[in-house]
């Protein structure tokens, strides 16, 4: 377990990202979603991340129901604010334009005001069936920086001071603004998705060193870059779009190297993310018990030091990126 900054909130090395439980891209039924959470618990996973955005609240409702009979003190849960849900009077279609196979029963409203933050969190707590969450992230404030820094972040500070939440931060698919949160505010943690992987180490330039220097924590999402590092093949996705040929080639070369050294690319991708000293946890999205089991097994697998050396020798991995020791890998 790692403590997030100076918050006292603890997370395990592997966490479950619950976007797939909100019908990300394809439908998942309730039983399948609950079973995925049950198996995650059996595998020792105690950190669960969700957001109102995921399935227009469906992920939060399912995660709350799946955890309802678990001892509250034994798990850590995070959700996000900044996308407030407003019910629509007439449902006219689905939400696939935003990536989720659910009826479009609500619309998302960008809202990083202090009032919007509290209203959004109150609604999340109702869907989760909880009286508190452990971590709250400002969700994708890329185009709302002024409001997020001057209204949203202070609102989170107040919620933390009131004891409503234990740790606060921001979650984004970029490293630059997250570095500003680390340097310019008193966040405990940031969630960086897709920017620290075997294929993209842009977070290594400033974000991760800044977090270490300031005693802050980083949670890594998107370790597989939305699929390419899980199963590299011609139709694989990279950051939710068709994988460029150059990156597909790099991923295939890494996969071949992993197999030569008796491991898997999935194990290497997870181990790489976890190896940096700033990283407190790696989130994996899974929609079935089989996927959860596989992720837990891959995370626990040993990745030989010779594999990392080959990647560096062949230019597939920067020499500056820390890799697991034999003891951790």
pLDDT for the residue numbered 100? 96
pLDDT for the residue numbered 2? 96
| Position 231 pLDDT exceeds 70 | yes
Could you say which of 47, 54, 196, 238 is catalytic? 54
Whole-angstrom distance, CA of residue 23 vs CA of residue 81: 20
| Position 5 pLDDT exceeds 60 | yes
Contact 85, 106 (CB under 8 A): yes
Rounded to the nearest 10 degrees, what angle do helices 114-128 and 58-67 cross at?
Answer: 50
Mean pLDDT of 206-231: 96
Mind listing the pLDDT tens digit for each residue in 257-296? 999 999 999 999 999 999 999 999 999 999 999 999 999 9
Mean pLDDT of 222-232: 94
Mind listing the pLDDT tens digit for each residue in 135-172? 999 999 999 999 999 999 999 999 999 999 999 999 99
pLDDT for the residue numbered 329? 44
246 three-class SS: helix
Contact 271, 254 (CB under 8 A): no
pLDDT for the residue numbered 326? 57
Whole-angstrom distance, CA of residue 69 vs CA of residue 79: 19
> Which helix H or strand E contains 285, and what residues bound it?
strand 279-285
> Which helix H or strand E contains 16, and what residues bound it?
strand 14-17
C-alpha torsion 152→19→229→283, nearest 10: 60
pLDDT for the residue numbered 325? 79
- pLDDT tier at 240 (50, 70, 90 boundaries)? confident
Spell out the alpha helix ranges (H) of the chain.
30-42, 58-67, 114-128, 145-147, 153-161, 176-184, 207-214, 245-260, 265-275, 289-300, 305-313
63 three-class SS: helix
- pLDDT tier at 328 (50, 70, 90 boundaries)? very low
| Position 255 pLDDT exceeds 50 | yes
Contact 188, 215 (CB under 8 A): no
Tally the residues of the chain.
Answer: 329
Mean pLDDT of 192-213: 97
C-alpha torsion 322→20→54→67, nearest 10: -90
Q: What's phi and psi for 77, nearest 5 deg?
A: -130, 140
54 tagged catalytic? yes
Mean pLDDT of 212-239: 95
Average pLDDT, the chain: 96
Residues of the chain with pLDDT > 70, as a percent, come to: 99
83 CB-near residues (< 8 Å, 6+ apart):
51, 52, 53, 108, 109, 110, 111, 120, 139, 140
Contact 255, 232 (CB under 8 A): yes
The string of DSSP letters for 207-230 reads: HHHHHHHHT-EEEEE-TTGGGTTT
Whole-angstrom distance, CA of residue 204 vs CA of residue 10: 23
| Position 78 pLDDT exceeds 50 | yes
Mean pLDDT of 172-177: 98
């Amino acid at each position: 377990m790692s403590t997030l900054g100076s918050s006292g909130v603890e997370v395990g090395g592997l966490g479950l990202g619950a976007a797939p439980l909100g019908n990300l891209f394809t439908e998942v039924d309730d039983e399948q979603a609950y079973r995925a959470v049950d198996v995650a618990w059996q595998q020792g996973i105690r950190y669960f991340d969700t957001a109102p955005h995921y399935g227009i609240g469906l992920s939060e409702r399912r995660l709350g129901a799946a955890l309802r009979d678990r001892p509250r003190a034994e798990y850590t849960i995070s959700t996000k604010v900044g996308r407030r849900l407003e019910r629509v009077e007439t449902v006219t279609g689905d939400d696939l334009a935003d990536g989720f196979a659910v009826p479009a029963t609500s619309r998302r409203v960008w809202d990083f005001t202090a009032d919007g933050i509290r209203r959004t969190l109150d609604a999340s707590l109702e869907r989760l069936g909880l009286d508190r969450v452990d971590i709250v992230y400002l969700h994708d404030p890329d185009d709302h920086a002024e409001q997020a820094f001057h209204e949203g972040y202070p609102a989170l500070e107040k919620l933390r001071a009131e004891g409503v939440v234990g740790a606060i931060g921001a979650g984004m698919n970029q490293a630059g603004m997250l570095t500003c949160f680390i340097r310019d505010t008193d966040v405990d943690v940031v969630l960086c998705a897709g920017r620290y992987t075997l294929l993209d180490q842009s977070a290594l330039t400033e974000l991760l060193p800044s977090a270490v220097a300031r005693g802050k924590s980083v949670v890594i999402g998107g370790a597989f870059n939305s699929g390419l590092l899980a199963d590299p093949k011609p139709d694989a996705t990279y950051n939710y779009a068709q994988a460029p040929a150059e990156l597909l080639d790099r991923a295939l070369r890494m996969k071949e190297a992993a197999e030569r050294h008796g491991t898997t690319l999935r194990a290497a991708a997870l181990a790489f993310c976890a190896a940096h000293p700033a990283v407190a946890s790696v989130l994996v999205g899974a929609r079935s018990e089989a996927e959860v089991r596989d992720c837990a097994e891959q995370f626990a697998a040993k990745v030989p030091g010779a594999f990392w050396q080959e990647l560096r020798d062949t230019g597939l991995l920067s020499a500056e990126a820390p890799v697991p020791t034999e003891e951790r890998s």
